[in-house]
Structure 1
Amino acid sequence: MKKIMWAVAAAAVVFLIVGGTVDALEFLLWLAPVLLIVAVLLFFLSRSGGHRIP
């Protein structure tokens, strides 16, 4: 769970660093689905409570 949270935090740092440049817009649009997948995984892991999801 903490690894996924660190991944979300790292993605946020990347957004912060490259968000100020105009050329980074395409990179942020590519990274957005990856961040969405991480958020969905975090939701399912927190919902399962450490048990296997059927």
Structure 2
Amino acid sequence: MAWVSFVIVWLFQIAIFWQGIERIKHFLNWAGPLVYVVMLVLMVIVWYQAEVS
């Protein structure tokens, strides 16, 4: 299953690369802040699980 995930991410990266530098800039503009959103969500999940345990 790990290989399937690797290939999916690899194909996604190639697709963005082929579309040019402008597409990469656009992707980074929304992917950068999304990293912080995911970190906050994971922090809330871990915090909740620590409280329940």
Query: What TM-score does the superposition give when structure 1 sets the normalisation length?
Result: 0.49
Displacement over 3 Å in runs of 4+:
none
Q: Which structure has the larger Rg over C-alpha atoms?
A: 2
Q: CA RMSD in A?
A: 2.3
* In 2: Cα distance, 1:43 partner to 1:32 partner: 16
Select the structure that is richer in helix: 2
- Structure 1 unpaired stretches of 5+: 1-15
Of the three residues 44, 49, 54, the one matched with 2:52 is 49
- Structure-to-structure mapping, 1:12-31, within 5 angstroms: 20-21=15-16, 22=24, 23-31=26-34
* In 2: Cα distance, 1:30 partner to 1:40 partner: 16
- Structure 2 unpaired stretches of 5+: 1-8, 17-23
Structure with the bigger RCO (C-alpha within 8 Å, sep 6+) is 1
* 1:30 Cα offset (Å): 1.2
* In 2: Cα distance, 1:44 partner to 1:30 partner: 21
Instruction: State the identity as a percent.
Output: 12
